């Protein structure tokens, strides 16, 4: 583990916005899920893992530990390679879920290899892959650490009951961030965002999949089984708040600079980003509202026809060893999907690392956990209608 995890940490989401990641949306993804379902018997290819000790792993930028002196070195991956003899070809090619969907969907639809054995995408996009049968079911007999240590809150999302096809890489919370000193009061509820003293100083996330769940929770909706009427009720309210200029604008991760500058006093935010902000500005608070907040994950999947499935399963299980999970959590500062990693960090002689064990944005405490829920995904039948309405409100 590095000695000072926060000092040199950079928000992955912030970097992606800075370089333009997230701007592209594939035509294929944007017009709804294509009818290209692949049946269970057609998903596997001959596994070369035993004779070909390699693995191609596609991930997002800034989403793995690196060496302090040489950013091209990844200590946890290096340790896995040394232990197993498996050569990991690691690429940081995923900058946006829709963009990556557009990149590999032609191969998957046409029953061709993608050239990747392991990928990480957001769970709402994982849901699309699972529905289409574009991902292989994992062999849990080869993954005892996943079976033992995966956070119970993340074990059975509606799109993948029992997590047979996906395993969380990292998790996070969509809640509310605000400047407590400048606002001069606490925020405890989603409805507090609509108070008069915040008019013109509030932002919401622009992405449909990122924004709707928290707003529904503010209405008291159980987001694990929300209805279309719940979505439209949220849109009705937000439309009025936009018309009255209460909502300043809709953002990607650029809410960070607005919050830091004081142009915005409160906003929808991701827990991982706020950890970064708090290192420089302790007046920034992150809130899981009393009504609850959305717990999300970005998950590992083995796409159809991957030629090194057993190698991929071994790598996934390796990252579920508490010691390895602790190293990763100390670097990326998202919610760790391995609660047992908390004890590893807590026992560290390094005060910075030990403090991470007490950070509820990395290891949510019991009170916070009771207010977290995974939203049911937007179905392919709903997506076109809902995206059209939300994008019109958000000005997309």
Which tens digit of pLDDT belongs to each residue from 55-73? 999 999 999 999 988 888 9
Quick check: 215 and 276 in contact, CB under 8 A? no
pLDDT at 276: 83
Cα(328)–Cα(315) distance, rounded to whole angstroms?
Answer: 14
Helix (H) or strand (E) holding 189: none
As given in the structure block, the two tokens for residue 27 are 């035509």
Token pair recorded at residue 230:
């719940």
What local confidence, expressed as pLDDT, does residue 21 receive? 42
Amino acid 72: pLDDT: 85
Of 20-29, 87-96, 183-192, 217-226, where does mean pLDDT reach its minimum? 20-29
Q: For the stretch 113-122, what's the b/e string if a residue is b when 16 or more beta carbons lie within 10 angstroms of its beta carbon? A: ebebbbbbbb
Tokens of 95: 């900058």
Show the DSSP H helices in the chain as ranges. Answer: 12-18, 27-30, 75-84, 97-109, 123-132, 144-149, 180-183, 208-218, 228-243, 255-261, 271-280, 309-318, 322-332, 341-346, 351-356, 366-369, 380-394
pLDDT band at 34 (very low <50, low <70, confident <90, very high): low
DSSP result, 15-47: HHHHTTTT----HHHHT---S----GGGS----
Q: Which tokens hold the place of 160?
A: 């993948």
CA–CA gap between residue 309 and residue 318 (Å, rounded)? 14
pLDDT over 80 at 5, yes or no: no
Q: Scan for tokens 């500005």, then name that residue.
A: 281
pLDDT digits (tens, 9 = 90+) for 157-172: 999 999 999 999 999 9
Which residues sit opposite 54 in a β-bridge? 87
Single out the residue of 134, 125, 105, 299 nearest to residue 208, CA to CA.
Answer: 125
Class of residue 194 by CB neighbours under 10 A (exposed 0-12, middle 13-18, buried 19+): middle
- 266's tokens: 């409160």
Residue 300 pLDDT exceeds 70: yes
For the stretch 321-345, pLDDT in tens is 999 999 999 999 999 999 999 999 9
Q: The tokens of 343 are what?
A: 């004890």
Residue 19: per-residue pLDDT: 41
- Residues 235-256 have a mean pLDDT of 95
Q: Residue 356: is its pLDDT beyond 80?
A: yes
**Which helix or strand (DSSP H or E) is residue 269 part of?**
strand 266-270
Instruction: Enumerate the β-bridge partners of residue 91.
Output: 58
State the pLDDT at residue 35.
Answer: 56
Please give the Cα distance from 285 to 301 (Å, whole number): 33
- Which of 146, 262, 205, 213 shows the shortest CA–CA distance to 395? 205
pLDDT given for residue 171 in this prediction: 97
Inform me whether the pLDDT recorded for 2 exceeds 60: no
| β-pair partners for 247 | 202
Backbone angles phi, psi at 6, to 5 degrees: -90, -25
> What is the predicted pLDDT for the residue at 22?
41
**Per-residue pLDDT band at 253 (split at 50, 70, 90):** confident
More confident position, 17 or 180: 180
What is the model's pLDDT at position 46?
A: 96
Distance between CA 286 and CA 332 in Å, rounded?
17
* Tokens, residue 23: 């701007």
Q: Which of 171, 123, 122, 172 has the alpha carbon at shortest distance from 22?
A: 122
pLDDT at res. 79: 98
Tell me the pTM. 0.90
Task: Evaluate whether 302 touches 164 at the Cβ level (below 8 Å).
Answer: no
- State both tokens at 45: 């290819």
The mean pLDDT of 91-108, rounded to a whole number, is 95
Cα separation, 260 vs 362, in Å, equals 21
Mean pLDDT of the chain, nearest integer: 91
- Sign, CA torsion 335/337/343/349: negative
C-beta separation of 296 from 134 below 8 A: no
How far is it, in rounded angstroms, from Cα 79 to Cα 324? 10
Residue 6 confidence (pLDDT) above 70: no
């Amino acid at each position: 583990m590095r000695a000072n995890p926060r000092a040199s940490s950079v928000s992955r989401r912030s970097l992606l916005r800075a370089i333009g990641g997230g701007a592209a949306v594939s035509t294929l993804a944007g017009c709804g899920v294509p009818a290209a379902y692949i049946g269970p018997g057609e998903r596997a290819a001959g596994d070369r893992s035993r004779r070909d000790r390699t693995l191609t792993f596609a991930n997002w930028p800034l989403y793995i530990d690196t060496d302090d002196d040489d950013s091209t070195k990844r200590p946890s991956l290096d340790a896995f390679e040394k232990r197993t003899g498996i050569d990991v070809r690691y690429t940081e090619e995923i900058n946006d879920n829709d963009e990556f969907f557009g990149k590999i969907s032609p191969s998957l639809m046409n029953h061709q290899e993608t050239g990747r054995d392991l990928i990480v995408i957001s769970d709402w996009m994982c849901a699309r892959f699972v529905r289409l049968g574009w991902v292989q079911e994992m062999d849990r007999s080869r993954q005892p650490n996943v079976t033992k240590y995966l956070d119970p809150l993340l074990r059975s999302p509606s799109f993948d009951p029992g997590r047979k096809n996906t395993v969380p890489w990292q998790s996070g919370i969509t809640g509310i961030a605000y400047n407590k000193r400048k606002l001069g009061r606490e925020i405890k509820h989603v409805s507090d965002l609509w108070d008069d003293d915040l008019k013109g100083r509030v932002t919401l996330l622009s992405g449909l999949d990122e924004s709707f769940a928290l707003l529904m929770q503010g209405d008291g909706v159980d987001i694990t089984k929300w209805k279309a009427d719940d979505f439209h009720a949220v849109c009705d309210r937000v439309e009025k708040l936009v018309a009255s200029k209460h909502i300043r604008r809709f953002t990607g991760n650029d809410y960070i600079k607005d919050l830091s500058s004081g142009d915005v006093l409160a906003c929808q935010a991701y827990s991982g980003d706020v950890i970064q902000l708090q290192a420089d500005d302790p007046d920034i608070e992150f809130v899981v509202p009393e009504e609850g907040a959305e717990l999300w994950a970005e998950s590992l999947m083995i796409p159809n026809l991957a030629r090194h499935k057993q190698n991929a399963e071994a790598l996934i299980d390796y990252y579920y060893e508490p010691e390895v999970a602790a190293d990763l959590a100390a670097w990326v500062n998202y919610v760790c999907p391995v609660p047992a990693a908390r004890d590893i960090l807590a026992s560290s002689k390094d005060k910075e690392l030990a403090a991470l064990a007490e950070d509820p944005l990395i290891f949510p405490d019991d009170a916070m956990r009771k207010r977290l829920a995974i939203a049911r995904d937007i179905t392919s039948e709903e997506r076109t209608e809902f995206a059209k309405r939300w994008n019109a409100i958000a000005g997309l």
